[in-house]
């Protein structure tokens, strides 16, 4: 069955990937640790995809993305814990508040390049400060505890393998949404804007509107991811939503490959796995990230997806298996 | 009244530190178009080097300022020479900016590795002490900081307006292509930019670390100098000076009379508002860097 608006999405490779990912919990059995790791990767993959949309396809340096992740997490946590909202309502509210935050940020879209990047950076800092300082709502640096497990259709999602499917569905839905956006006239406008903003404006594209759309959509995504993280961990604290996370997300996009959707997911998986490993190694391990960021930017700015794309160009047979990055 | 005077001096002293870092930040932006995220961390390294010198040698403060400045200038040059210059040839600005974030992470972790995680306090002799003169508490350190800051700014101003090299630097910042056509060797000017901005950041690091502490997260204070640079209009040296002083004052007085918990939020909100209302900065003449 091919739904027309998803034309181009279902290739043998993508179908196989979706089925394989759906089967992962069955293969892993009941190891809660691995499932938990996998779920965390899922949440960060959602964020990396959202940032890929803004940064990769929009060419906009959004340096405060983790702050919007926090908006969703705190909204969902506060509504379910203190006000007894059911999870689905809180989830939607998290997305709405994420969008609300982006609306506040909208005036800055008329800034260009460096000023815009600076404003997003500062916006992220402000949000992190608010999470730390507004103790009455967020419980400050100590963190927010006791966030309930989500209940859907009368069932409480407690088991990590069930939570996996919740995140999986959200991730696939997000992927399809972004895929669809990129293959619409909006996607064409994005490409034109990235190539030459002035020429794009003179051709009648409302660049401001394109940028606002990007910010709103990506912030809704961050809000949703925040809600999922909050209910998965049951505990949230400000550092998760600060500059360090914004940098980690940036690295996921860069490492996976700018302007590649599968790349963002792979980047999220690699970075989270490295974080897991290096937290065992000790406190100086972050230097790995710094060095990786510098080296990737200098020698492989297209990331892993670029590497895969380069390989498949040299080996045409590999392209049949889908080693081709999506670059509309 | 005496309370207010004390705040005024302290605000200006902190502000002059912001100014020193902001000037370098602005210069780099003007010369290379780069948003240098590792610049505040260079300031942090300056504070750390100053700590080591102070505990090992107990040199006087001005010498600490100069020596740390020189060390950080060297570091700044190394990062530019081997980190940024090869990438400048590829010409992707976004990639370069992301690379500066990488350098920031590297510097922080090097500092963690060398100096550890605990905040380090400078030896007793370097710490600020208040003296009561005629009912007013005067902290000589704050006055000295303000003095050092102002002297450095005046010297820089003379350098930029009265010397050939200074004018060449400004020309490079204004329009690199035209400067090159006029026979200015812009790579050399960029090297000089990184050396000079590194020196100022290193010196500022010593000043700030001696009144607060030396620690790997000192760069967070330096980040506010970004705000100072924006306040003054990106890339204008005079603007960065004034921006730093204004920010220091607003923040100190705001913290005292409004809320100390929210003083950073005040500073950052001010920054965004100024970006929106006057993207060219408080002193800017309505002219921004050509794209």
Q: If interface means Cβ-Cβ distance under 8 Å, which residues of chain A face chain B?
A: 59, 61, 107-108, 111-115, 117-119, 121-123, 125-126, 129-130, 133, 198, 247, 250, 254, 283-284, 286-287, 289-294, 297-298, 301
Question: Is residue A175's pLDDT more than 80?
Answer: yes
Is B91 domain-assigned? yes
Distance of alpha carbon A44 from alpha carbon A38, whole angstroms: 10
Mean pLDDT, rounded, for A109-116: 78
Is B19 domain-assigned? yes
Question: Is residue B91's pLDDT more than 70?
Answer: no
- Beta-bridged to residue B120, according to DSSP, are B214
- Structural domains in chain A, CATH included, are 4-319 (1.10.3470)
Query: Are A183 and A3 contacting, i.e. CB atoms less than 8 angstroms apart?
Result: no
pLDDT on residue B284? 60
Q: What is the distance in angstroms between the Cα of B201 and the nearest Cα belonging to chain A?
A: 20
pLDDT tens digits for range A177-199: 999 999 888 988 888 888 888 88
Q: What is the distance in angstroms between the Cα of B113 and the nearest Cα belonging to chain A?
A: 7
Question: Is residue B278's pLDDT more than 60?
Answer: yes
Q: In the numeric block, which tokens belong to residue B49?
A: 């080097």
pLDDT on residue A298? 82
Q: Do A61 and B275 touch (CB under 8 A)?
A: no
Distance of alpha carbon A324 from alpha carbon A305, whole angstroms: 8
pLDDT on residue A251? 86
Q: What is the pTM of this model?
A: 0.84
Which residues span the domain enclosing B46? Answer: 2-217
Q: Radius of gyration (Cα) for chain A, nearest Å?
A: 19
Q: What is the distance in angstroms between the Cα of B188 and the nearest Cα belonging to chain A?
A: 21
Q: Do B103 and A292 touch (CB under 8 A)?
A: no
Q: Which residues contact A138 (CB under 8 A, 6 or more apart)?
A: A74, A78, A130, A131, A132, A144, A238
Mean pLDDT, rounded, for A51-55: 93
Q: Which residue of B has its CA nearest to A198?
A: B291
Our measurement of the distance from residue A241's CA atom to the centroid of its chain's CA atoms, rounded to an integer in Å, reads 13
Higher-confidence residue: A30 or A81?
A81
Is B231 domain-assigned? no
The beta-carbon contacts of A175-183 under 8 Å, at least 24 apart in sequence, are A175/A49, A175/A261, A176/A6, A176/A9, A177/A217, A178/A49, A178/A52, A178/A53, A178/A261, A179/A6, A179/A8, A179/A9, A179/A261, A179/A326, A180/A5, A180/A6, A181/A53, A181/A217, A182/A57, A182/A326, A182/A328, A183/A7, A183/A8, A183/A328
Q: Enter the DSSP assignment of A58.
A: T
Query: Are B28 and B238 contacting, i.e. CB atoms less than 8 angstroms apart?
Result: no
Task: Residue B101: list chain A partners with CB under 8 A.
Answer: 247, 250, 293
How far CA A124 is from CA of A146, A239, B115, in Å, comes to: 26, 12, 29
Question: Is residue A292's pLDDT more than 90?
Answer: no
Q: Do A283 and B117 touch (CB under 8 A)?
A: yes
pLDDT on residue A7? 67
Q: Which residues contact A110 (CB under 8 A, 6 or more apart)?
A: A208
Residue A151: phi and psi, rounded to 5, are -115, 125
Q: Do A294 and B230 touch (CB under 8 A)?
A: no
Number of folded domains that form chain B: 1
* Number of C-beta neighbours around residue A314 at 10 A: 8
pLDDT on residue A283? 60
Mean pLDDT, rounded, for B115-129: 81
Percent of chain B with pLDDT over 90: 20
pLDDT-wise least confident of A84-88, A197-201, A286-290: A286-290
Q: Which of A245, A308, A237 is nearest to A271 (CA)?
A: A245
pLDDT tens digits for range A260-271: 898 999 999 988
The sign of the torsion formed by the CA atoms of A290, A295, A301, A302 equals negative
Q: Which residues contact A39 (CB under 8 A, 6 or more apart)?
A: A160, A163, A164, A167, A232
pLDDT tens digits for range A294-324: 888 888 877 787 777 766 665 554 444 443 3
Is B269 domain-assigned? no
pLDDT on residue A77? 95
Best residue of A250, A275, A293 to probe chain B, by most B CBs closer than 10 Å: A293
Question: Is residue B288's pLDDT more than 80?
Answer: no
Query: Are B76 and B46 contacting, i.e. CB atoms less than 8 angstroms apart?
Result: no
Higher-confidence residue: A146 or A167?
A167
Q: In the numeric block, which tokens belong to residue B278?
A: 């006057």
Q: Do A115 and B275 touch (CB under 8 A)?
A: yes
In chain B, the N- to C-terminal Cα span, in Å, equals 48
Instruction: Out of A94-108, A286-300, B25-39, give the one with best mean pLDDT.
Output: A94-108
Higher-confidence residue: A204 or B290?
A204
Mean pLDDT, rounded, for B15-28: 88
Question: Is residue A327's pLDDT more than 60?
Answer: no
Distance of alpha carbon B148 from alpha carbon B207, whole angstroms: 9
Is B288 domain-assigned? no
Q: Which residues contact B277 (CB under 8 A, 6 or more apart)?
A: none
Distance of alpha carbon B248 from alpha carbon B146, whole angstroms: 11
Question: Is residue B97's pLDDT more than 80?
Answer: yes
pLDDT on residue A322? 40
One DSSP character per residue, A152-176 reads: ETTEE--SHHHHHHHHHHHHHHHHH
Is B105 domain-assigned? yes
Mean pLDDT, rounded, for A24-42: 84
pLDDT-wise least confident of A5-9, B169-173, B209-213: A5-9
* Number of C-beta neighbours around residue A320 at 10 A: 12
Q: Do B271 and A122 touch (CB under 8 A)?
A: yes
Q: Which of A43, A41, A53 is nearest to A259 (CA)?
A: A53
Mean pLDDT, rounded, for B24-34: 82
Best residue of B226, B272, B280 to probe chain A, by most A CBs closer than 10 Å: B272
Is B196 domain-assigned? yes
Task: Residue A297: list chain B partners with CB under 8 A.
Answer: 87, 95-96, 98-99, 102
Instruction: Out of A113-117, B7-11, B41-45, give the one with best mean pLDDT.
Output: B41-45
Task: Residue A119: list chain B partners with CB under 8 A.
Answer: 272, 275
Higher-confidence residue: B141 or A266?
A266
Query: Are A248 and A289 contacting, i.e. CB atoms less than 8 angstroms apart?
Result: yes
Is B110 domain-assigned? yes
Mean pLDDT for all residues in chain B: 83
- Report the b/e string of A271-291 with b at 16+ CB within 10 A: bbebbeebeeeeeeebbbbbe
Question: Is residue A152's pLDDT more than 70?
Answer: yes
């Amino acid at each position: 069955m091919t739904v027309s608006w998803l034309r181009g999405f279902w290739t043998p490779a993508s179908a196989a990937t979706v089925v394989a990912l759906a089967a992962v919990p069955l293969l892993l059995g009941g190891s809660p640790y691995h499932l938990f790791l996998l779920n965390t990767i899922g949440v960060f993959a959602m964020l990396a995809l959202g940032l890929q949309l803004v940064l990769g396809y929009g060419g906009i340096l959004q340096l405060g993305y983790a702050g919007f992740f926090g908006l969703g997490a705190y909204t969902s946590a506060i509504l379910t814990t203190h006000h007894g909202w059911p999870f689905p309502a809180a989830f939607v509210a998290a997305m709405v508040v994420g969008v609300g935050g982006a609306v506040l940020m909208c005036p800055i879209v008329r800034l260009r390049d460096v000023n815009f990047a600076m404003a997003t950076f500062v916006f992220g800092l402000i949000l992190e400060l608010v999470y730390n300082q507004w103790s009455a709502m967020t419980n400050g640096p100590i963190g927010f505890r006791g966030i309930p497990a989500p209940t859907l259709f009368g069932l409480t999602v407690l088991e990590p393998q069930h939570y996996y499917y919740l995140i999986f569905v959200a991730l696939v839905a997000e992927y399809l949404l972004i895929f669809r956006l990129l293959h619409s006239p909006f996607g064409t406008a994005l490409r034109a804007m990235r190539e030459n903003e002035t020429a794009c404006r003179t051709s009648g594209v409302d660049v401001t509107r394109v940028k606002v759309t990007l910010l709103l959509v990506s912030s809704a995504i961050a809000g949703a991811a925040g809600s999922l993280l909050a209910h998965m961990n049951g505990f949230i604290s400000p550092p998760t939503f600060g500059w360090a996370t914004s940098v980690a997300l940036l690295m996921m996009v860069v490492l996976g490959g700018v302007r590649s959707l599968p790349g963002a997911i792979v980047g999220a998986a690699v970075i989270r796995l490295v974080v897991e490993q290096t937290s065992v190694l000790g406190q100086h391990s972050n230097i790995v990230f710094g060095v990786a960021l510098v080296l990737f930017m200098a020698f492989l700015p297209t990331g892993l997806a670029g590497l895969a794309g380069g390989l498949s160009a040299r080996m045409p047979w590999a392209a049949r298996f889908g080693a081709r990055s999506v670059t509309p | 009244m005496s309370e207010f005077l004390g705040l005024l001096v302290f605000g200006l002293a902190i502000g002059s530190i912001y100014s020193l870092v902001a000037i370098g930040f602005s210069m780099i932006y003007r010369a290379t178009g780069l948003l240098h995220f590792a610049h505040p961390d260079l300031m942090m390294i300056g504070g750390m080097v100053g700590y080591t010198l102070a505990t090992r040698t107990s040199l006087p403060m001005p010498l600490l300022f100069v020596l740390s400045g020189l060390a950080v200038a060297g570091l700044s040059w190394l990062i530019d020479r081997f980190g940024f210059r090869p990438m400048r040839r590829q010409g992707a600005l976004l990639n370069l900016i992301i690379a500066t974030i990488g350098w920031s992470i590297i510097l922080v972790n090097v500092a963690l590795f060398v100096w550890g995680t605990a905040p380090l306090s400078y030896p007793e002799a370097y710490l600020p002490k208040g003296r009561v003169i005629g009912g007013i508490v005067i902290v000589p350190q704050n006055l000295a900081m303000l003095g050092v800051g102002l002297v450095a700014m005046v010297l820089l101003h003379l350098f930029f307006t009265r010397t050939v090299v200074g004018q060449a630097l400004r020309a490079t910042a204004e329009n690199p292509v035209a400067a090159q056509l006029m026979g200015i060797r812009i790579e050399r000017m960029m090297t000089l930019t990184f050396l000079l901005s590194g020196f100022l950041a290193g010196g500022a690091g010593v000043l700030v670390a001696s009144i607060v502490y030396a620690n790997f997260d000192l760069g967070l204070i330096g980040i506010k100098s970004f705000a100072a640079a924006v306040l003054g209009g990106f890339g204008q040296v005079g603007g960065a000076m004034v921006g730093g002083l204004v920010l220091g004052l607003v923040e100190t007085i705001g913290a005292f009379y409004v809320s100390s918990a929210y003083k950073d939020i005040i500073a950052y909100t001010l920054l965004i508002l100024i970006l929106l209302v006057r993207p060219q900065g408080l002193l800017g003449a309505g002219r921004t860097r050509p794209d």
